[in-house]
């Protein structure tokens, strides 16, 4: 009897400390079609929303080759789903900083942009040139952020992605073909218990990892589930972005000024079009 009491006491002590409960049995495996259907159904269920950023952290190399590192509280995100299959989503992320906008990432259906008043530089481009050799890269592209946060659909038609069933996860792999024959491989690791992505990776044609994301602590918004912890890293560039989302709320208010690329930004002279050379093609 004494041993039983000690076991119960230890269990209560661990519960107070916040130890996670048992995960439970892993469900029977899904087919590739079922897994892709569930993934894309979650993406399609995402309605217009606003989100609050509780904490954000970012490290990157600026255009002058200097490493920048920021870690602050507060920010906001606004999202509008694509109006058509082949058009980008409207997206606006503002990471707050004392008396300044520490980091802004924006997108509408035709253009995308980013800038930092702290780092005093900005870049913008047009989607019609995205991926071309004549277009430079931005540190964090809005569509890249959405893709690696699990908010963009996966291909579910021939040629079908590769599909592997593991003890705890499903692994979905497919090739992305871009302009000038460039290709990269995507690897999506999906939790078998939740059917939600926990990691998304990208590899270049030589098999080197070029992007990596970790997604945790999903919350429900309508019929969709969205991650509240997003970690996105770029191993080759030695940079990363970490977001901790405090809340998601449905939002249908007119936010058009947020989704309109600014032509000038206060305190920033280094605000350049990254695909200007493409205009002559």
Q: Tell me the HSE value of 255 on the side-chain side, using a 13 A CA sphere.
A: 20
Q: What is the pLDDT of residue 4?
A: 45
Read off the DSSP letter of residue 196: S
Q: How far is CA 251 from CA 48, 78, 93, 214, 269, in A?
A: 5, 8, 15, 26, 33
CATH number, position 269: 2.50.20.10
Block residue for tokens 């602590």: 217
Q: Which of 169, 149, 139 is nearest to 69 (CA)?
A: 139
Residue 31 counted as domain residue: no
State the total domains in the chain.
Answer: 1
Residue 237 counted as domain residue: yes
Q: What is the pLDDT of residue 77?
A: 98
CB within 8 A of 274, min separation 6: which ones? 123, 124, 125, 135, 136, 137, 138
Q: Which domain holds residue 65?
A: 44-280
Q: How confident is the model over 50-79, as pLDDT tens digits?
A: 999 999 999 888 777 888 888 999 999 999
Residue 53 counted as domain residue: yes
Question: Which tokens belong to 124?
Answer: 């913008």
Q: How confident is the model over 130-180, as pLDDT tens digits?
A: 888 888 888 788 999 999 999 999 988 888 899 999 999 999 999 987 655
Full-model pTM: 0.87
């Amino acid at each position: 009897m004494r041993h039983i009491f000690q076991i119960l006491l230890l269990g209560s002590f661990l519960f107070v400390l916040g130890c996670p409960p048992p995960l439970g049995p892993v469900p029977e495996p899904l087919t590739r079609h079922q897994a892709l259907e569930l993934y894309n159904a979650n993406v399609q269920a995402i309605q217009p929303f606003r989100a609050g950023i509780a904490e954000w952290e970012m490290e990157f190399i600026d255009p002058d080759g200097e490493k920048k590192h920021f870690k602050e509280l507060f920010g906001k995100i606004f999202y509008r789903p694509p109006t058509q299959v082949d058009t980008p989503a409207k997206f606006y992320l503002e990471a707050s900083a004392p008396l300044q906008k520490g980091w802004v990432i924006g997108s509408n259906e035709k253009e995308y942009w980013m800038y930092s008043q702290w780092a005093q530089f900005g870049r913008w481009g047009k989607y019609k040139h995205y991926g071309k050799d004549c277009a430079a890269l931005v540190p964090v592209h809005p569509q890249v952020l959405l893709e690696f946060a699990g908010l963009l659909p996966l291909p579910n038609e021939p040629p079908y992605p590769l599909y592997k069933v593991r003890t705890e996860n499903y692994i979905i792999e497919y090739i992305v073909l871009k302009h000038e024959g460039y290709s990269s491989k995507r690897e999506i690791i999906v939790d078998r218990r939740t059917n939600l992505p926990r990691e998304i990776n990208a590899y270049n044609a030589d098999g080197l990892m070029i992007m990596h994301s970790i997604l945790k602590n999903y919350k429900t918004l309508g019929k969709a589930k969205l991650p509240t912890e997003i970690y996105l890293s770029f191993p080759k560039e030695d940079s990363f972005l970490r977001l901790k989302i405090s809340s998601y709320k449905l939002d249908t208010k007119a936010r058009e000024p947020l989704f309109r690329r600014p032509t000038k930004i206060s305190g920033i002279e280094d605000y350049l079009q990254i695909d200007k050379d493409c205009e002559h093609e």
